[in-house]
Structure 1
Amino acid sequence: MNTLSTVSAALFLATGLAVSASPVFAAPETYTLDSTHTFPRFSYSHFGLSTQLSRFNKTTGTIVIDKAAKTAKVDILIDTTSVDTGFATFDEHIQGPDFLDTAKYPTATFKSNKVRFEGDKPVALEGDLTIKGITKPVTLSITSFTNMPHPMLKKDAIGANAQVVIKRSEFNAGKYAPNVGDEVTIDIAVEAVKN
């Protein structure tokens, strides 16, 4: 083997080793919320008689996640005019000025600024919740998280449930508290599909 061939072989081998030893960096991936399977629900004590559960029917948003770097960003927009208590009169009441005041504030938002991971799974979302134009920092506990191919859409998908307890009086929606509970549990079921 001549000198040129020997040098070429050495360079090829060195390059191959360098490539194989380089870490693989994943890029952030964007997922769009599936509005037909994403529902923020809220529950509260009604005079101590029962815990009432309602939901919002229209929610949009995105999740951007980098699995290798263990970072993520979540943006959620809730159409508060889509509140569903199961009774039209209550829907109108909750949309009124004493509660959500949807004529002035037709949306609520959550924007994350930090995600905590345990291993490969996110376990908490820290961010800003805005209701009635009032923004407060909150931490949502992620109670379940799955990342898998969607069996129907044949695309990568994310599913999760997250929960936080807020005081509605802190968002200027405290009418009838404490008889109607001031503490409200928000539980959001999320499904999102990769773009």
Structure 2
Amino acid sequence: MKKPFIAAAFAVFFAGQALAAPQTYAVDPAHTFPRFSYDHMGMSKQILRFNKTAGTVVLDKAAKEARVDVTIDMTSVSTGFEVFDGHIQGADFLDTAQFPQATFKSTKVVFDGDKPVSIEGDLTIKGITKPVTLTVTSFYHGPHPMMKKDAIGANATAVISRTAFNAGKFAPGVGDEVTLDIALEAVSE
């Protein structure tokens, strides 16, 4: 009588372990847009975005662990004005001819209960890597309403220095402090 009970207990334990395995999510490029804003000579807050982003998020909700690996196509910067897009891509700012991509790779994700609240990682822009902590302002994990697949969604923010990434032309007249505001959606692979 004890052997069938023990076998059943192991089966339940290992089935639970399989369900709690880390899940990989592919970034949805149609709903993932890193935006950034800065002070423009004290006259306005300019808000720009990148239109092409790729990457993965690995989430193990049971273990309260996650990894984020994102690549941003810096040539996809969108200012709303084509001439200014080219200006921002120049050597004094993003230098996309030499550095067409930026990356963010997490080193630690901090959870509060079931939800991530901050993501520490390495941000690389123009070949320069600096530690950055993203504050997660919203998080969703559940079925995608249209695709009927497991999905995640999040918004996160951080503040960085343009000059720290060798992109500080006209600072401080044009603000050195840049606010990152990232909207991300990803679907299970």
TM-score clears 0.5: yes
Q: What runs of 5+ residues in structure 1 fail to find an aligned partner?
A: 1-8
Structure 1 Cα separation of the partners of residues 13 and 96 of structure 2:
56
Out of 60, 71, 80, the position equivalent to 1:86 is 80
TM-score with structure 1 setting the length: 0.92
Matched, 1:49 2:51: no
Structure 2 Cα separation of the partners of residues 32 and 17 of structure 1:
35
TM-fit CA distance, 1:35 = 0.1
Structure 2 Cα separation of the partners of residues 48 and 123 of structure 1:
32
Structure 1 Cα separation of the partners of residues 168 and 2 of structure 2:
74
Q: Which residue of 2 aligns with 1:10?
A: 2
TM-fit CA distance, 1:11 = 2.1
Out of 161, 166, 184, the position equivalent to 2:178 is 184
Q: What runs of 5+ residues in structure 2 fail to find an aligned partner?
A: none
Q: Which portions of structure 1, spanning 4 or more consecutive aligned residues, are displaced by more than 2 angstroms?
A: 13-25
Structure 1 Cα separation of the partners of residues 87 and 135 of structure 2:
29
Matched, 1:117 2:111: yes
1:126-141 to 2 correspondence within 5 Å? 126-141=120-135
TM-fit CA distance, 1:17 = 4.5
CA RMSD of aligned residues (A): 1.4
TM-score with structure 2 setting the length: 0.95
Aligned length: 187
Structure 2 Cα separation of the partners of residues 127 and 30 of structure 1:
18
Partner amino acid for 1:11?
K
Aligned residues with identical type, % of pairs = 65
Out of 16, 20, 24, the position equivalent to 1:24 is 16
